[in-house]
Amino acid sequence: MNDVSILEQARQKLPAELAERLQSLTAGKERWVAVLDVAALGGAERDAAMGDVRAAILSLAGAPGDVQIIATSERTAPASMHKPVMIAVGSGKGGVGKSTLTANLAVALAKSGVSVGVVDADIYGPSQPMLFGTTGEKPEARDEKLVPIASEHGVSLLSMGHLVAQGKALAWRGPMAGKALAQLIDAHWDADVVLVDLPPGTGDVQISMLQHFRPDGAIIVSTPQDLALIDAVRAGQLFDQGDIPIIGLVENMASYVCPNCGEVSDPFGSGGIEAAAERLDLPFLGRIPLSIAIRKDSDAGSPPALGDTPDGRAFAAIAQKLAAWLDKRG
């Protein structure tokens, strides 16, 4: 069954006003994801609309046991008119959790009703397809532009990993990487916000990419280790050079809570990024714990931000600060 036919079937089960509000319905492996326009509905009306849509979808033949309804408060403009707010997520060095943060911030924002896309610009190790469970899928092109892939977590996605085989782009120089990134950015985005997972570091490739796509803001992630911290500060200078507003710093792999005894320890130290933010007069957006569940869920293509767990809530808290920044920007 294709996505158009399930969308039509679901609409037929709904009153016309509600059918019109149901914007998309995507069949994922484990669950279906619906996007519902709730503009101008009060709290109770909105809950009732979401309940009716959920019931209609679950009554369809072939529906899974679970359906996620994403409420958006704006009717989606045609792709050609749409210019999403672009936010870069960078880090001074690799392996600090930049991709994990990008994916989970996107999911947490989508859960709160924002329509979100992710561009995976990390040519050294594109990991968003794995994080979103879309490995091996290829984006289609329309009018010579790519159409982002809809993941089953309510976030659409384009990755360097969709354009080149793993490891092939490693030798790219800055301008080539910038050109490839332009294809991912200048695509048929149907989202209000697009988070861009940059390659780690502060070299030529990153500078060229930033010059090409001029993000509206940047988030820098680091672990509390001193070395990573120094690198994160350097990444901050990279954005400063390009005059790109820094939305704030995030500390990843902070305190570890032992899943057996509950004891809290700080294997990489703690609080360093918050102190650095204060020193640099930058906002501190929050910390994500070092958690085995984050790694396991990420490897399994099920972003932890989907769940109402301490890990999920840590991502949601940072997403709220990002949403506040977006609101302020207007």
Ligand X SMILES: Nc1ncnc2c1ncn2[C@@H]1O[C@H](COP(=O)(O)OP(=O)(O)OP(=O)(O)O)[C@@H](O)[C@H]1O
Give the CB-nearest residue to ligand X.
94
Q: Could you tell me the CA-to-CA distances from 22 to 46, 85, 153 in Å, in that order?
A: 13, 24, 17
Burial (CB < 10 A; 0-12, 13-18, 19+), residue 282, is middle
- Least Å distance, CB 38 to ligand X, is 32
92 is in an annotated binding site: yes
Among 100, 115, 151, 159, binds ligand X (CB under 6 A): 100
93 is in an annotated binding site: yes
Among 28, 90, 92, 97, binds ligand X (CB under 6 A): 97
Beta bridge partners of residue 142, listed in sequence order: 145
- Least Å distance, CB 317 to ligand X, is 14
Of 194 and 294, the one with the shorter C-beta distance to ligand X is: 294
- Least Å distance, CB 87 to ligand X, is 15
Q: Determine if 313 is a binding residue for ligand X (CB under 6 A).
A: no
Closest CA to 38 of 52, 50, 51, 28: 50
Q: Which two tokens stand for residue 138?
A: 């290829």
Q: Determine if 288 is a binding residue for ligand X (CB under 6 A).
A: yes
d(CA 79, CA 141): 13
Count Cα neighbours of 155 within 13 Å in the Cβ-side half-sphere.
35
Q: Determine if 270 is a binding residue for ligand X (CB under 6 A).
A: no
- Least Å distance, CB 279 to ligand X, is 23
Binding-site size for ligand X (CB under 6 A) equals: 20
307 is in an annotated binding site: no
Among 84, 117, 200, 286, binds ligand X (CB under 6 A): 200
d(CA 37, CA 71): 6
Q: Could you tell me the CA-to-CA distances from 89 to 15, 58, 142, 198, 209 in Å, in that order?
A: 42, 37, 27, 6, 12
Quick note: the x/- pattern for ligand X over 160-199, rule CB under 6 A, is ----------------------------------------
Among 127, 159, 208, 222, binds ligand X (CB under 6 A): 127
- Least Å distance, CB 285 to ligand X, is 14
Q: Determine if 118 is a binding residue for ligand X (CB under 6 A).
A: no
- Least Å distance, CB 111 to ligand X, is 19
Backbone angles phi, psi at 35, to 5 degrees: -110, 120
**Residue 95: partners with Cβ closer than 8 Å, 6 or more residues away:** 200
Among 251, 291, 303, 322, binds ligand X (CB under 6 A): 291
Contact status, residue 323 vs residue 109, Cβ threshold 8 Å: yes
N-terminal to C-terminal alpha carbon distance within the chain: 40
The tokens 């009716």 sit on which residue?
Answer: 52
Q: Determine if 295 is a binding residue for ligand X (CB under 6 A).
A: yes
Q: Which two tokens stand for residue 84?
A: 């999403």
Burial (CB < 10 A; 0-12, 13-18, 19+), residue 46, is middle
DSSP 8-state class, residue 197: E
98 is in an annotated binding site: yes
Of 18 and 194, the one with the shorter C-beta distance to ligand X is: 194
Among 134, 270, 298, 302, binds ligand X (CB under 6 A): 298
Q: Determine if 151 is a binding residue for ligand X (CB under 6 A).
A: no
Q: Determine if 68 is a binding residue for ligand X (CB under 6 A).
A: no
Known binding-site positions: 92-99
Residue numbers at the binding site for ligand X (CB under 6 A): 91, 94-100, 122, 125, 127, 200, 252-253, 288, 290-291, 294-295, 298
